[in-house]
Amino acid sequence: MKRKPTESQIIEQLNSDVQKKQYYRPAVKINNIISSLMSRRGYAQKQSNEELQQAWAAAAGKRLANESRIGNMKRGVLEVFVSNSTVLQEITFQKRRIIKKLKETTVCEKLKDVKFRIGAIN
């Protein structure tokens, strides 16, 4: 015949069960949590585009930056839209210098080439 467990035995068994189910989970650094959240919400992309726009303005110069805007960067190729064919020709002549300046920034380390297109810059 089985004996009924006492109250203290039941409490002891429950504590044992709880301890077995708990596991150690190391603390996560706050910067990892924030960067993960930013990338999931798309904030990292917006910040990256703003940094890229600033790098473009510095590399192209004030006048050319006002006549152009950056597009997407895919596989190391940055797409830049310019307002008209005159600006396109002038910016093409300065392409090597601009790429060199862009590569010096941390935003554009992986930059391989820049493609220019005539389009809306608003």
Total residue count of the chain as it appears in this document: 122
For the residues of 61-101, what is the DSSP string, one character each?
-HHHHHTEEEEEEETTEEEEEESSHHHHHHHHHTHHHHHHH
Number of domains in the chain: 1
Q: Which residues contact 19 (CB under 8 A, 6 or more apart)?
A: none
Query: Is the residue at 28 inside a domain?
Result: no
* pLDDT number for residue 83: 92
Say whether pLDDT at 12 is over 90. Answer: no
Q: Give 67 or 46, the one with higher predicted confidence.
A: 67
What CATH code is carried by the domain that includes residue 104?
A: 3.30.300.180
Is 5 within a domain? no
In a domain, 26, yes or no: no
Domain membership flag for residue 3: no
10 Å CB burial of residue 55 (0-12, 13-18, 19+) is buried
- Residue at 21 is within a domain: no
Average pLDDT over residues 36-57: 74
- Domain membership of residue 60 as a residue range: 54-118
What's the whole-number mean pLDDT along residues 46-57?
80
